[in-house]
Chain A
Amino acid sequence: MNALLPQLNRAFKPVEEFGTEGRYSLLPFNFSPADSQTRDWYVVANLCGDYAVITRTDLERLVDGRLDPNEDTYRLLRRKQILYDNLTRCTPTLLSAKYRTRAQQLANFTGLFMFVVTLRCNHVCPYCQVSRVSEDRDAFDMTEEMASRAVEFTFKTPSPSVKIEFQGGETMLNFPLIQFIVERAKEENRKWNKNLQFVIATNLSVATGEILDYCAEEDILISTSLDGPADLHNSNRPKRGNNSYELTIEGITRAREKIGFHRVGALMTTTERSLGRVRDIVDTYVEHGFHSIFLRPLSPFGDAVKTRAFDKYDAQKWIEFYKEGVEYILEINRGGYPLTEAYSSIILTKILTNQATRFVNLQSPAGIGIAGIIFNYDGDVYASDEGRMAAERGDKTFRLGNVIANSYEEIMLSDNLLNPLVASLPEAAPMCSECAFLPYCGADPDYHHATQRDFLGHKAFSGFCTKNTEVFRYLIGKIEAGGEDAEIMRAWLR
């Protein structure tokens, strides 16, 4: 020791006297390869999602009890609650507290209620299974009686927050019913005083000044589709006149003026045509002043149900799309333009925090019914939007009942809801229950039913699994690499 350096007064004991005994105990944890190609590095994670990345050798030594307390790896694994010792006896209590926090969102129950106010639409989008009807047919609108009963159903939820989302068809073609539902919901909410939010999903092509004024008054958010630059957007959304993109941009501009810049959001639908165009898509969003973009996964539903082989192949192509997109978005952030990638933001929130994300497509147990539910134009109730679209293809597996003919209990306790919930539970599933990424992942019975005719799905064949695993590995890699990119991503946390 350098005698010239100042020392602590001798009356105080040095740090070496406060070390651990040397023996340690394991805490429950899972491990998975950190990389799809090699098995040199593993992600180890406990049941609350605290993770560390370590070598294969260290993993074996960890389990064998051969880690040395003076190693950095020992300290890392102790800090991340993969092991504990005589100095950290509080750890099991900490884990209980965190696990309780993570599970809290379940107790809040259903928070998202989708109302399909009409099937009528003025576009003919190839991937859309539902809106095949022209502008003229009134038989495809939800009635006021159904809407009333659906609002009553909605407020039976214990959740302190309720989000009512209007879907279609083209929702604004039945604007009077939207107004009816908003009024009924506000009235009902006087009893409950919940945090009530409305969103209209619309292509904005028929958004009149009067409609937008109403949205401004009632604080309604607008969510529209913007798939990318004009050629891409128009080919995804054919319309008579082939001017869907122009109409969309014009609609966004008018909506922003009326209801406020940040109350207008855009979502893309990712199709085969989108893959390979991610930079153009991001540029479109930046060009139009958006500060959030959602690189949505490919949907396996579409004109044809995918076979197993296509499923995983598509997952690979989407992964490339996503990574290229995120790298480009980070570049844009480094250049000074704040732009959040919403999918990464959701996943990072699951990895780095114990907070709920209310993203119904990646919850465990599955978000069907118990996080989000949908009332169709004919009064039928479905466990998810995908479930109602499957019904339009003739598959009523996820139909839970009818809002007029059935009670709340009959609907929420129906077999069509409980069976997929139980069957798809990752904590009870082979591979999933042992996966390091379990705390970040979720169940998707719709997806596996569509691709494998099975609510759980065999994950070795699942594009859903491949895709999610790659995203987790990629994001963990970015956070571990640190630097400016990691800081930018941390700012995306919800």
Chain B
Amino acid sequence: MLTLSARKLEGNLDGLGRRVFRVTERANIPRATRNKHALLHRDELQCPDGFGLHIHLAGKPDGPRNIFLPPAFEYLSDGDIVVVDEGDKAIRTLYRRSCRSNSLLVTERCNHHCIMCSQPPRDVDDSYIVRDLLEAIPLMAQDTPSIGITGGEPTLLGDDFVKLLRSLKNNLPATAVHVLSNGRNFRNLPLCHAISKIGHGDLIFGIPIYSAEPDRHNYVVQAENAWSETIEGIINLKRFGIGVEIRLVMHKDTIAGMEDLAEFIRRNLTMVDHVAFMGLERMGFAATNWKYLFVNPRDYAATLGRAVRILDHAKIRTSIYNTPLCMLPDDLHSFAEQSISDWKNDFPEECAECSLKPRCAGCFSSTVEALKGLVRPKRTQPRQPMRKKTLDRTASAFVSEQAEIIFSSGLECIADVACGDGRNLTPFLGGKPKVHCYDINVAAISDFKSTHPEIELLCHEVDLLDSDFELPQAAFSLVILVHFYEQNLFRKVIGSIKPGGILLLETIDSHGANYLQLPRKGEVQAMLRPGFEILETRTGDIQETDRQTVKVCARKALAAA
């Protein structure tokens, strides 16, 4: 995460006051423009004259108009814009030329107090911010693709807000502008009219609605009348032909109502230009309330999918922001965007080898810890070979051994979960059991059917990690789970075994970072203790981790008399 501001710095800023500068690394720009520029020194100490300020990343020469910055500011480069304050000896980076979408904070005041606000409001007079920005905008690069306006609530600035928009239109006519606002002040027609008169060609307001239920929305934003006024504001903006995007931050108090909200938008706000479903950032109040608010994205992926499809079928443009691809089912990947600002975008280390990483939003710097154990990097090679090399595949050594102990002719109905090409079923076919196979890809088992035509084989193409995936209760005399483990799935597997039935579990061998897919030490044993008799167990602890490989053959107790 980048450092954008610092105070109480060393240097000599006498007589500077508070000023905005464009950063340059070129010492020989024309004299006439030097006053607006701050010359960035990475090592060169010589200070040509005429510059409004000299910024030093190394060395501390004497003389006026010098400021010394720590290494955290090494990212500064040509075209960036900073504001420097003599009184505070402070610097703040307002704009970075290399950034895809710069965000301009225009005020910290707000009329809402959202329970997950990443920028908690402060009731202070920060009108100096607008002054800084009005100075900075004319210095921004003409080819800036887009600018974001955030706060607080930008419309609280009244006329100053209109001034900012006008300045953006006049100075950066080719730049798209995206403003985050709660929309309530657009109930005032004069404000809408003033904005419309600016005639900005590419302006959109991102306005949150957290629920179709007004009381739940008002609770999330902690303000009375919010829902009704926000909607009136949206209607007005659309009547003036101004762009509107509806945003929803997904957390414990908004997830349950997502589908109803999608339906409400579909029916009542069809004319909006975009709808964005957003993953939670762990900053501000969201950090304070993290344990309460955070929900594993995989747990709400199903309802998110339904909500997205409600809007998509109605031809409303919809996106999913701030959510890693591995937490979304494949059919939602086309809606996911790489939405996190580069300066706070991060990936857990296990994502390094993931084949989807180039397209993935990853995490916020603030949420990497929380999502670390939950991501599922996609191996670049398939887990099982897609094309069989020979017809003759054998079960794993452990499975083959256990098959000799298990009385296989008594098996009427068996299941192989994460079956791959079905090789682990081969020792158990003597009694012609009915076989159920579960895997995300059932193409690999198609050859099994042709080599064993006498076996009744039912294939289920499913995402085993989907929380909605269920196995039938007490249905199988044998369940095989080889080379695929996840705690919730294992729980479902246990439940699907008949009393007296057998469980055969073999986790992957450990190598590299895959230990995260292994059970924690003792986890499997604890889950089997009530109700299973362990026939054979072999474990291998992974050094310096809390994980272990597990091979176990266990029999479920017959029902109590």
Q: Could you list which residues of chain A lie within 8 angstroms of chain B, going by C-beta atoms?
A: 6-9, 12-15, 17-20, 50, 75, 79, 87-90, 93-94, 97-98, 101, 352-354, 487, 490-491, 493
Q: What 0/1 pattern do residues 302 to 331 of B give for CB contact below 8 A with A?
A: 000000011001100000000000000000
> CA of A15 to CA of B210 in the docked complex: distance in angstroms?
13
Could you tell me if A12 and B313 are in contact, using CB atoms closer than 8 angstroms? no
- Which residues from B are CB-within-8-Å of A93? 232, 235
Question: A8-B115, A13-B219, A87-B228 provided; 8 other pairs, C-beta below 8 A?
Answer: A9-B285, A20-B214, A50-B267, A79-B213, A87-B218, A88-B228, A90-B235, A93-B235
Report, nearest first, the 8 A-B pairs whose CB atoms are least far apart: A6-B291, A87-B214, A15-B219, A6-B292, A90-B228, A18-B218, A18-B215, A90-B231
Q: What 0/1 pattern do residues 274 to 293 of B give for CB contact below 8 A with A?
A: 00000000000100110110
Interface flag for B447 (CB, 8 Å): no
- Which residues from A are CB-within-8-Å of B19? none
A-B contact pairs, 29 of them (CB 8 A): A6-B292, A8-B292, A9-B289, A12-B113, A12-B115, A12-B289, A13-B222, A14-B219, A17-B219, A18-B215, A18-B216, A19-B215, A20-B215, A50-B267, A75-B213, A79-B212, A79-B260, A87-B215, A87-B218, A88-B227, A88-B228, A90-B228, A90-B229, A94-B235, A97-B235, A98-B268, A101-B270, A353-B314, A354-B267
* CB of B418, distance to nearest CB on chain A (Å): 24
Interface flag for B224 (CB, 8 Å): yes
> CA of A20 to CA of B227 in the docked complex: distance in angstroms?
12
> CA of A14 to CA of B292 in the docked complex: distance in angstroms?
13
> CA of A15 to CA of B253 in the docked complex: distance in angstroms?
10
Interface flag for B484 (CB, 8 Å): no
Chain A residue at minimal CB-CB distance from B227: A87
- Which residues from A are CB-within-8-Å of B253? 15
* CB of A341, distance to nearest CB on chain B (Å): 16
A15-B219, A87-B227, A490-B313 given; A9·B232 CB < 8 A: no
Classify the interface of chain B: helix, strand, loop or mixed: helix
Could you tell me if B288 and A9 are in contact, using CB atoms closer than 8 angstroms? yes
- Which residues from B are CB-within-8-Å of A79? 212-213, 260, 264
* CB of A12, distance to nearest CB on chain B (Å): 5
> CA of A13 to CA of B222 in the docked complex: distance in angstroms?
7
Chain A residue at minimal CB-CB distance from B315: A493
- Interfacial residues of chain B within 240-269, with CB under 8 A of chain A in the complex: 253, 260, 264, 266-268
* CB of B246, distance to nearest CB on chain A (Å): 14
* CB of A456, distance to nearest CB on chain B (Å): 31
- Which residues from A are CB-within-8-Å of B229? 90
- Which residues from B are CB-within-8-Å of A20? 214-215
* CB of B250, distance to nearest CB on chain A (Å): 16
> CA of A490 to CA of B232 in the docked complex: distance in angstroms?
28
- Which residues from B are CB-within-8-Å of A87? 214-215, 218, 225, 227-228
Chain B residue at minimal CB-CB distance from A91: B228
Most buried by B among A20, A88, A94, A493: A94
- Which residues from A are CB-within-8-Å of B219? 13-15, 17-18
Chain B residue at minimal CB-CB distance from A487: B309
Chain B residue at minimal CB-CB distance from A94: B268
* CB of B123, distance to nearest CB on chain A (Å): 15
Could you tell me if A18 and B224 are in contact, using CB atoms closer than 8 angstroms? yes
> CA of A50 to CA of B225 in the docked complex: distance in angstroms?
23
Most buried by A among B113, B115, B228, B309: B228
> CA of A490 to CA of B235 in the docked complex: distance in angstroms?
26
Could you tell me if A7 and B313 are in contact, using CB atoms closer than 8 angstroms? no
Could you tell me if B214 and A88 are in contact, using CB atoms closer than 8 angstroms? yes
* CB of A298, distance to nearest CB on chain B (Å): 31
- Which residues from A are CB-within-8-Å of B235? 90, 93-94, 97
Could you tell me if B314 and A493 are in contact, using CB atoms closer than 8 angstroms? yes
> CA of A62 to CA of B314 in the docked complex: distance in angstroms?
31
* CB of A16, distance to nearest CB on chain B (Å): 8
Could you tell me if B215 and A94 are in contact, using CB atoms closer than 8 angstroms? no
Most buried by A among B113, B115, B219, B289: B219
* CB of B459, distance to nearest CB on chain A (Å): 15
Could you tell me if B231 and A94 are in contact, using CB atoms closer than 8 angstroms? yes
